[in-house]
Structure 1
């Protein structure tokens, strides 16, 4: 009788440990990269996600997303989940992504929502590249992120409501090796211009 209760306690402890371990691993890899970010204004640079020294959580996040991260020699990823005022990016609001980028051979800016895409929402565009973005005379650009159609560089919201995230990828950039020296003025500003009532 005593032996049966010991075995059942051991099995219970193993099952509980496995359940808690799986739940915490799921929680830790569900969002963005948990460690190693360098915050610059609204943007956070992730210089080590594609390096040999990337932490196991960053590798797990990449595996879960099915993404291949940029190696240090290839470029750098910057993400923004909030605007320059520190407010979370919301799909019901309109934002401008304006300014310049650090020196790079090419860059892309994309928007994504959390969770599965709304199947009823038509995919118009998910991002812009440096070669197709309309620019001002001084080389600066303005991309409008909005649920409503806008003139110029319009980037539609990926969903009707909820949080969204921007990703700025710089390809073949010298700042990939020294992300800690990024200057706020060298990154585009993310500014909220209004929200749906």
Structure 2
């Protein structure tokens, strides 16, 4: 997968990816709106260019409360994000599946899992959801994405989140041709276990 070419689709306002980004941004904004007073820690896995968070932070009233870490493997995409990021947003060039990268930033108030679930095996999706309990503080919001092509795994992903201690906040309609889900963690944060890998990308996606 040429991830740099893939990201160029964000610039086409008629693409499904561009429309999905608008929905994700709206949910990021809503999550920051309802965040409790005080610091708002955020982590983004496979952050790409960071457009979902960085564009919201440009004018959000809670932008100075945010302390974020974005993790992206591709150095060019990470560099693009780093150039745009304010001082309270750190961009790491590295493997986002590794739990070590989130040490010091979790448990977080907002966890972004966008662009991941369509590129990893079902078992890794379940492992990532379970691992999210190490990334979230109680009440945290998780925003995730997954395509709605066959097999449409969005209903199962919702079930896996809800079985794992999350409650559903919002899920996009199937007619949108893309899936965006929002879940809130209602459990107790689990200690971060460093040295673990949550997922591996499948060539060509799933």
Do these two structures clear the TM 0.5 threshold for a shared fold by scoring above it?
no
Larger Rg: 1
Work out which structure has the larger RCO, using CA pairs closer than 8 Å and 6 or more positions apart in sequence. 1
Q: Give the structure with the larger helix fraction.
A: 2
- Give the TM-score normalised by structure 1: 0.28
Query: Would you tell me which structure has more strand in proportion to its own residues?
Result: 1
